[in-house]
């Protein structure tokens, strides 16, 4: 109304004899934010990480992701599971926290990347299905998962905010979570701290199962927003934990994490450049496995005497990530371009009280270096149709600290997707993507067949094997079709997503009679999907029914692919 009045007055002045005096009117900036459950018509899923999941708050990232249709996990114990998505596993799922990758170190994946994630300390979780983005280094062929925190905002009347929770459960389960922030429109400080603990549980026969755990994490962020278009944040974090494993000969007695990062963002730089973002992040994971901290060590006979054989293995991973990206907008186009790099170094040792000859000091074994460049374009063809496409190239180098071996790979990735939105509430997408992936640390070491020092590891662990040949595995090449829809009609809603893919040189990890894994290339075909229907009884009471199915075949041997999850269905009632 005020604007209409001003226009009318200006119009009247134009008919007056007096000269017009123009004076600029400065309006306060208005920032509008919104969060929707799904983007790209269901291809991209967003969820509130602070919403409690069933049956109880998640102790790690894998436990939370299990609540999202399509995810399952390979259980290690009560915590620190290793997720699968649509039956795909390991580095086929790109796992990022605040835009950076924090890799685990254990050769048997006791400390998968999700083991260092406390989901309740984040604000939102985004899942991008399939190879349908190129914005992040060596894209995940199965999915890209983003755990993200949103910078807090304050007004003059409320210079602080926060929340705290405590959860109690059977068998000594107790969780604490605290988030607190203080600041103003220029600076802020935010603290996220949490702890989760559980004792051994008892099975249905009353037998106590070796499964206790304790983990804690703390992150501090200091932010600076000198104006509405500038943001700078310095963050640091630490964490640790321990976990008992009934199904393994060793427990995880240490899951130590240290991290440090600097993120910056500048918006509205020009009429075309809408955003420039840059970040650099460092992380150090220090993981220890042993057979005596959380259990009694097995006994062995030496010189006619029975003595405990205490064994431990320590593995570390140092990772440095950097990324810079620019978003440009003009007409119906939006283009994101950028460069990123990662360097990570893996090291390990081994100790035995009964057999000191097996002891090895902590030494580096493999070093990874990657550089990437990408471009991702959005084109709004018309109000109903949008085309999204992207292209990326990564240069990956792996070198061994144990010998002179070097591996170099050039990895192209690309996708194209059409999104359609109809006035009747039917929104759909169809896209095809291609990703090439180098073998990761676990797969390279799985090809080992001899020990560097000629000794035998009685634990059957492949961590300290010398890699015989860094180049005995081909890069894995995935080409996948993704399609799906969402439909909303009154109180009813329905959605579905499906995929079909061909994987050339799929890196398959086998296990022989000595539990030693051996990796090799095979060809594979995968397919499956998720679907669901829902009904809103009221604005507050909702129900939905969903199902997921994944299928995969090793076409080289005509056998099923491993780790494919079974048919799964869920019925939810929400208030």
* Per-residue burial over 431-467, b = 16 or more CB atoms within 10 Å of its CB, e = otherwise: bbbbbbbbbbbbbbbbbbeeeeeeeebebebbbbbbb
- Pairing outcome for strands 208-209 and 201-202: antiparallel
Q: Which structure tokens are listed for 118?
A: 């406390």
569 CB-side CA count, 13 A: 3
Q: What is the pTM of this model?
A: 0.87
Distance CA 497, CA 493 (A): 14
Q: Which of 26, 106, 37, 78 is nearest to 464 (CA)?
A: 106
* Phi–psi pair at 2, nearest 5 degrees: -65, -40
Distance CA 145, CA 89 (A): 13
Contact between 484 and 498 under an 8 Å Cβ cutoff? The reply is yes
Q: Coil, strand or helix: which one is 168?
A: strand
Question: What residues of the chain score a pLDDT lower than 70?
Answer: 1-38, 55, 447-468, 512-517
Contact between 226 and 195 under an 8 Å Cβ cutoff? The reply is no
| pLDDT for residue 286 | 96
Q: Which structure tokens are listed for 312?
A: 């431990």
| pLDDT for residue 4 | 54
Q: Which of 513, 524, 575 is nearest to 553 (CA)?
A: 524
| pLDDT for residue 307 | 81
| pLDDT for residue 517 | 64
Q: Which structure tokens are listed for 438?
A: 């180098």
Distance CA 197, CA 177 (A): 12
Handedness of CA 346, 285, 450, 352 (dihedral sign): positive
| pLDDT for residue 34 | 34
């Amino acid at each position: 109304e005020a604007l209409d009045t001003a226009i009318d007055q200006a119009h009247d002045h134009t008919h007056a004899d007096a000269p017009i005096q123009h004076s600029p009117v400065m309006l306060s900036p208005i920032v509008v934010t919104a969060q929707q459950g799904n983007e790209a018509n269901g291809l991209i899923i967003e969820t509130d990480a602070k919403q409690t999941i069933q049956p109880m708050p998640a102790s790690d990232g894998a436990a939370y992701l299990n609540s999202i249709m399509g995810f399952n996990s390979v259980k290690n114990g009560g915590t620190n599971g290793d997720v699968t998505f649509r039956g795909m596993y390991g580095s086929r799922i790109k796992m990022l926290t605040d835009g950076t990758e924090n890799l685990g170190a254990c050769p048997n994946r006791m400390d998968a990347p999700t083991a260092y994630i406390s989901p309740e300390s984040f604000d939102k979780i985004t899942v991008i299905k399939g190879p349908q983005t190129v914005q992040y280094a060596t894209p995940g062929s199965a999915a890209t998962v983003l755990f993200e925190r949103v910078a807090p905002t304050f007004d003059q009347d409320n210079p602080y905010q926060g929340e705290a929770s405590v959860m109690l459960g059977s068998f000594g389960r107790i969780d604490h979570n605290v988030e607190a922030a203080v600041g103003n429109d220029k600076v802020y400080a935010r603290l996220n701290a949490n702890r989760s603990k559980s004792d051994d549980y008892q099975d249905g026969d009353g037998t106590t199962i070796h499964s206790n755990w304790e983990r804690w994490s703390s992150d501090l962020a200091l932010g600076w927003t000198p104006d509405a278009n500038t943001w700078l944040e310095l963050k640091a974090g630490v964490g640790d934990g321990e976990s008992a494993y009934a199904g393994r000969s060793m427990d995880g007695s240490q899951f130590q994490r240290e991290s440090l990062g600097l993120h910056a963002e500048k918006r509205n730089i020009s009429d075309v450049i809408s955003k420039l973002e840059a970040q650099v992040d460092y992380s150090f994971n220090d993981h220890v496995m042993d057979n005596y901290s959380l259990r009694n060590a097995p006994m062995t006979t030496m010189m006619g005497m029975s003595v405990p054989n205490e064994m431990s293995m320590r593995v570390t991973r140092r990772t440095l990530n950097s990324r810079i990206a620019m978003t440009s907008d003009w007409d119906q186009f939006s283009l994101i371009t950028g460069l990123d790099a990662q360097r990570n170094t893996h090291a390990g040792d081994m100790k035995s009280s009964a057999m000191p000859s097996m002891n090895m000091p902590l030494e580096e074994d493999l070093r990874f270096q990657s550089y990437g460049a990408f471009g991702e374009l959005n084109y709004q063809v018309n109000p109903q149709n949008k085309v999204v496409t992207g292209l990326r190239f990564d240069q990956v180098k792996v070198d061994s600290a144990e010998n002179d071996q070097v591996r170099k790979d050039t990895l192209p990735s690309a996708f194209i997707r059409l999104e359609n939105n109809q006035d009747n509430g039917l929104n759909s997408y169809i896209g095809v993507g291609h990703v090439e992936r180098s073998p990761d640390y676990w797969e390279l070491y799985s090809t080992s067949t001899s020990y560097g020092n000629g000794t035998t590891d009685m634990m059957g662990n492949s961590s300290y094997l010398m890699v015989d040949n860094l180049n005995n595995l081909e890069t894995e090449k995935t080409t996948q079709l993704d399609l799906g829809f969402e439909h909303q009609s009154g109180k009813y809603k329905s959605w579905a997503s499906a995929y079909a893919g061909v994987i050339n040189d799929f890196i398959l990890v086998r296990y022989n009679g000595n539990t030693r894994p051996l990796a090799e290339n095979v060809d594979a075909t995968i397919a499956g999907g998720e679907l669901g229907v829902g009904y809103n009884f009221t604005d507050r009471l909702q129900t939905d029914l969903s199902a997921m199915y994944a299928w995969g075949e090793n076409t080289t041997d005509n056998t099923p692919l491993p780790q494919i999850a079974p048919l799964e269905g869920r019925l939810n009632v929400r208030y």
